[in-house]
């Protein structure tokens, strides 16, 4: 059975990934910051799925290597860097920039994905599928910027895109396929209730997309529906 590790697996898109893969018989390592509060994950792990709940704050190198030690030599077919944050409350503009919030956004959205990939890449390399997903956003596309604001989030995802593009080349010789996925506008705590997609619909589409992905397409930036997005 293939195995996957998901960051931010306790709610939103991360929880939908855990549900989707567990229902298809995958072994799922569902990571989250606060396992004691992750009721939905514990319910899944008590049910029929093969779900292991693990503590992982993506800003913590200690956490990342504790997960690596717990996994040992276990192969990971799919690593989904999903955890993300959006801290721009109200209008963010010159004169109102909160640099601590900006730094934290980078720590989670950009450095977090790098940290977890660095810690777990050998487990991915040991697997059959060898896939790494970076959950990005169309808002990380510089070509998409047509209005002011969202500086913390946009720049953190643009930097994630640049990181992923280079990492895809570093990992290609090891047979690891890395892709950037924009999940669409999804009704989660981050996306808000008015967003058009459910987490389940978005995840199902992204799952279909990565099932078809080949090493040749490593480093590409896709919308959940399969369209290639501009940088
Ligand atoms: N929803 C959308 O419309 C949309 C659009 C484009 C891209 N995305 C991207 O999709 C991904 C998932 O977003 P979502 O919509 O599911 O958001 P969400 O419902 O707000 O969930 C965010 C998840 O990230 C976790 N997280 C935050 N900081 C973390 C940290 N330091 N360490 C580990 N986990 C952390 C949260 O855990 P806690 O519960 O502990 O806070 C939560 O599980 C993000 O990368 C987001 O940027 C979403």
Among 64, 83, 113, 160, which is best to mutate for testing ligand 1, by the most ligand atoms less than 8 A from CB? Answer: 83
Q: Give the per-residue pLDDT at 1.
A: 92
Beta bridge mates, 132: 79, 178
Are 194 and 187 within 8 A, CB to CB? yes
Token couple for 90: 């109200």
pLDDT bin (cut points 50, 70, 90) of residue 72 is very high
Q: What's the gap in Å between 128 CA and the centre of ligand 1?
A: 28
Pick the CATH number of 3-223 from 3.30.930.10, 3.40.250.10, 3.10.20.30, 3.40.50.720: 3.40.50.720
pLDDT bin (cut points 50, 70, 90) of residue 90 is confident
pLDDT in tens, 170-179: 999 999 999 9
Q: Give the per-residue pLDDT at 89.
A: 80
pLDDT in tens, 122-175: 999 999 999 999 999 999 999 999 999 999 999 999 999 999 999 999 999 999
Q: 3-class DSSP state for residue 100?
A: helix
Check whether 20 has a pLDDT greater than 90: yes
Q: What's the gap in Å between 51 CA and the centre of ligand 1?
A: 19
Smallest CA-to-CA distance from 53 within 65, 64, 67 is with: 67
Token couple for 158: 């643009």
Q: What is the DSSP letter of 230?
A: P
Q: Is 107 in the pocket of ligand 1 (CB under 6 A)?
A: no
CA 119 to chain CA centroid, Å, is 15
Q: Give the per-residue pLDDT at 48.
A: 77
User: In terms of pTM, does the model score above 0.85?
Assistant: yes
Domain map (residue ranges) of the chain: 3-223
Identify the burial level of 125 via C-beta atoms within 10 angstroms of its C-beta, where 0-12 means exposed, 13-18 middle and 19 or more buried: middle
């Amino acid at each position: 059975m293939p195995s996957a590790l998901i960051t931010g697996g306790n709610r939103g898109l991360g929880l939908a990934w855990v549900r989707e893969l567990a229902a298809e018989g995958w072994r799922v390592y569902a990571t989250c910051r606060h396992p004691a509060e992750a009721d939905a994950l514990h319910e899944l792990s008590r049910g029929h799925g093969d779900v292991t709940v693990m503590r992982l704050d993506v800003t913590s190198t200690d956490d990342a290597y504790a997960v690596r030690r717990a996994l040992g030599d276990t192969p990971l077919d799919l690593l989904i860097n999903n955890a993300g944050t959006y801290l721009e409350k109200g209008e963010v503009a010159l004169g109102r920039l909160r640099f601590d919030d900006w730094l934290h956004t980078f720590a989670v959205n950009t450095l977090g994905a790098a940290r977890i990939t660095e810690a777990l890449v050998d487990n991915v390399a040991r697997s059959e599928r060898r896939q790494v997903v970076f959950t990005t956003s169309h808002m990380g596309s510089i070509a998409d910027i047509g209005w002011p604001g969202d500086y913390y989030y946009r720049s953190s995802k643009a930097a994630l895109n640049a990181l992923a593009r280079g990492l895809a080349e570093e990992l290609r010789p090891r047979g690891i396929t890395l892709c950037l996925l924009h999940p669409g506008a999804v009704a989660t705590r981050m996306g808000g209730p008015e967003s058009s997609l459910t987490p389940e619909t978005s995840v199902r589409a992204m799952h279909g997309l990565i099932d078809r992905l080949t090493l040749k397409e490593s480093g590409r930036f896709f919308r959940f529906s399969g369209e290639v997005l501009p940088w």
